């Protein structure tokens, strides 16, 4: 099923932000079957529990991709599946979301801790703040944030907190190094959640993979600039021999 692409969404905002991208990809190649799959509704922050659920429910021998948290999970699942995964697409997705001594090109740990505390106190207000951060840097940031928030599913605080703890726990560096299939990593030039240095750090870690930049775009570039992102993905699929 090398003509199938599975896309996984990011934290808290559901599948809607990825639908315009999926539609744009289908418009570029009618043979490409694009599925946007929701993240598992788990209250666990154990990465293995999430990967077990995804592995059991997603088709094999397909391209795996995702936005932000979805891309981090796709990378882990690609490494787990190995040759049973056609390739990997990570969109505004940092190998580590929270910085540590070996990977400083990420969100500072104290910033993330304050964000998590805010979610525990008022999940809805925190989700609104998150939508604003996702849209920061867009040409119409307020309109984009309203679009993100308006389509977000009603998710309980426990599930949102589990997702944040998963974000903090995931470290995709070993998985990305282990996966030998084709990889495309797209970053946004004005991303307020994934620092620009992440692209350079990833290139140092993986000098042989394809890394691209959507200039002057926000973290939510999958919704802000779906046709530009789709064109970059389609060009990569063509180069990989899957057009």
For the question of residue 238 being annotated catalytic, the response is no
User: Which one of 29, 93, 145, 191 is the catalytic residue?
Assistant: 191
Q: Return the pLDDT at 2.
A: 72
User: Which one of 68, 86, 145, 218 is the catalytic residue?
Assistant: 68
Number of structural domains found in the chain: 1
Q: Identify the domain containing residue 58 by its residue range.
A: 4-239
**pTM, 2 dp:** 0.96
| pLDDT tens profile 82-137 | 999 999 999 999 999 999 999 999 999 999 999 999 999 999 999 999 999 999 99
Q: Return the pLDDT at 1.
A: 44
Residuewise pLDDT in 10s, the chain (243 residues)? 479 999 999 999 999 999 999 999 999 999 999 999 999 989 899 999 999 999 999 999 999 999 999 999 999 999 999 999 999 999 999 999 999 999 999 999 999 999 999 999 999 999 999 999 999 999 999 999 999 999 999 999 999 999 999 999 999 999 999 999 999 999 999 999 999 999 999 999 999 999 999 999 999 999 999 999 999 999 999 998 744
For the question of residue 68 being annotated catalytic, the response is yes
Q: Return the pLDDT at 241.
A: 73
Q: Kindly write down the DSSP assignment for every residue of the chain, as one continuous string.
A: -TTEEEEE--SSS-SGGGHHHHHHHHHH-TT-EEEE-PPP------HHHHHHHHHHHSPSSEEEEEETHHHHHHHHHHHHHGGGEEEEEEES--S-SB-BTTB-SSB-HHHHHHHHHHHHH-HHHHHHHHHHHHHTTSTTHHHHHHHHHHT-----HHHHHHHHHHHHH---HHHHHH--S-EEEEEETT-SSS-THHHHHHHHH-TTSEEEEETT--TTHHHHSHHHHHHHHHHHHHHTT--
Domain CATH for 222: 3.40.50.1820
């Amino acid at each position: 099923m090398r003509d199938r692409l599975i896309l996984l969404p990011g934290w808290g905002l559901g599948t809607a932000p990825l639908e315009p991208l999926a539609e744009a990809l289908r418009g570029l190649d009618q043979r490409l079957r694009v599925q946007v799959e929701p993240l598992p509704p788990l209250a666990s922050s154990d990465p293995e529990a999430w990967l077990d659920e995804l592995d059991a429910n997603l088709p094999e021998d397909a391209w795996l991709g995702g936005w932000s948290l979805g891309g981090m999970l796709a990378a882990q699942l690609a490494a787990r599946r190995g040759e049973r995964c056609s390739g990997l697409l990570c969109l505004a997705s940092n190998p580590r979301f929270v910085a540590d001594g070996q990977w400083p090109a990420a969100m500072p740990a104290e910033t993330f801790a304050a964000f998590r505390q805010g979610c525990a106190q008022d999940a809805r207000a925190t989700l609104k703040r998150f939508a604003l951060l996702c849209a920061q840097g867009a040409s119409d940031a307020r309109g984009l944030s309203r679009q993100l928030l308006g389509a977000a599913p009603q998710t309980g605080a426990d599930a949102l907190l589990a997702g944040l703890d998963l974000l903090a726990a995931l470290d995709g560096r070993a998985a990305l190094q282990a996966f030998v299939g084709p990889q495309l990593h797209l970053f946004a030039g004005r991303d307020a959640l994934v620092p620009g240095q992440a692209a350079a750090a990833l290139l140092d870690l993986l000098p042989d993979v394809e890394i691209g930049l959507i200039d002057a775009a926000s973290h939510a570039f999958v919704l802000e600039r779906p046709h530009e992102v789709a064109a970059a993905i389609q060009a990569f699929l063509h180069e990989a021999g899957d057009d």
